[in-house]
Chain A
Amino acid sequence: MALDFTTLVYNPAFSVFARTVTITPNGSQPGEPAYSGRGIYSTQPVDVPTENGAILSDQVTVLDVIEREYAVLPAQGDLVDIPASGVLPAPGQFEIIERYTNGGGETTLVLRKVMAARP
């Protein structure tokens, strides 16, 4: 019998590691108001190759969410605002650019920062 990872693993883990987020569903539910959710925020380094092998140091940032907690899963185009949590600073506002499921009840949302254009 398959294990219910959501109940056995994700709920306890999210109780410890998740932080409150606000999702504006511009992509998944256009016209609908923003709503609160929770997710585990994580970021890893990534090298972005540019012209002639020069490297731009950047990050890959994701938010893991429990699929069962969302009637309509967040999708590409949705905005995610992650405020400060306790002593942790606010990562800021992001746009969901990609999502993928692990097949066990958790979906990873790949995030891109919302920034003012420069120049």
Chain B
Amino acid sequence: MTVFSPLSRSIRLHGKTPVVTHGQLSYPLLLRDVILDHVKQMPFFASGFTFSTDKAQQIQPESLPFCGVYFLQEVGGADAEPQTGPIGFRTTVRIGFSVIIIYSDHAAGEYELDRAAQALSGLFSDPTLYNNSLVRVQGFTGLSRQHVFGNTGQNNETPVAELRWELICDLGTITYPPNITDDFETMHVETHYPFGNEDTPPVVVEYDLSQN
């Protein structure tokens, strides 16, 4: 069974190195988890919020106030020279935030959502996020925000207000290098003189090629 090399953005492992089979998450999910860790540290979200990244689990009213950080989409665009070199994509990731609060007053609830949005925008001034050596965000290229109050009919029992905040992150070019197991390490060169020159000793040279 062929085991493909793990995702690597800067280091190509030597073919003789034992292949590690996916010891880490992909960069988009790593980014989501790093962002979640930063959001949990924010003072606004210190007041009893329930956090989740799992949209398959239904949110219960007992879990409110709630903050969900979701991986929405990864889009890979063409790299500078797609016809040459290893396969790579200029990658952007959409991360979605869902902040659900309970309000006692409609207007005050919307102002609270506004405070939540301002708290989340603190991510942009956090160098430990955009300088994170693991996820290496190249930049933030888009943002959208919505306030939603309950279901479509607005007839649900619990007085909830939701902030939907979406962030588009540029992860730069992620390459998928080929899995090379037969590295070119040694070149053996011999010269053989034509028939009739048997006394001429052959020249034998071996070159050890540097591996990096």
Residues of A near any B CB (own CB < 8 A): 43, 46-61, 94, 97-98, 110-119
Contact = CB atoms under 8 A, between A and B. Distances in A.
A117 B70 contact: no
Nearest to A51: B98
A5 to B, nearest CB: 24
Contacts of A52: 55, 68, 70, 72, 96, 98
Contacts of A112: 156-159
A117 B102 contact: yes
Interface stretch (B23-31, B57-65, B131-139): B57-65
Contacts of A57: 58-61
Nearest to B44: A119
A117 B110 CA distance: 12
Name the residue among A46, A58, A98, A110 with the largest chain B CB count within 10 angstroms: A58
Contacts of A54: 55, 58-59, 68, 70, 98
B162 interface: yes
Interface string B46-61: 0111000001001111
Nearest to A119: B47
A52 B158 CA distance: 20
Nearest to A46: B156
Name A's interface SS: strand
In the A-B complex, the 6 residue pairs with the closest CB atoms: A51-B98, A119-B47, A54-B55, A58-B156, A118-B102, A56-B59
Given A50-B59, A51-B164, A55-B59, A110 B104 contact: no
Nearest to B165: A51
B159 A113 contact: yes
Nearest to B163: A51
A7 to B, nearest CB: 30
A119 B154 CA distance: 21
A110 B65 contact: no
Interface in B83-114: 96-98, 100-105, 108-109, 112
A118 B108 CA distance: 11
A62 to B, nearest CB: 9
A51 B148 CA distance: 10
Contacts of A94: 157
B158 A119 contact: no
A57 B61 CA distance: 7
B156 A60 contact: yes
B150 A119 contact: no
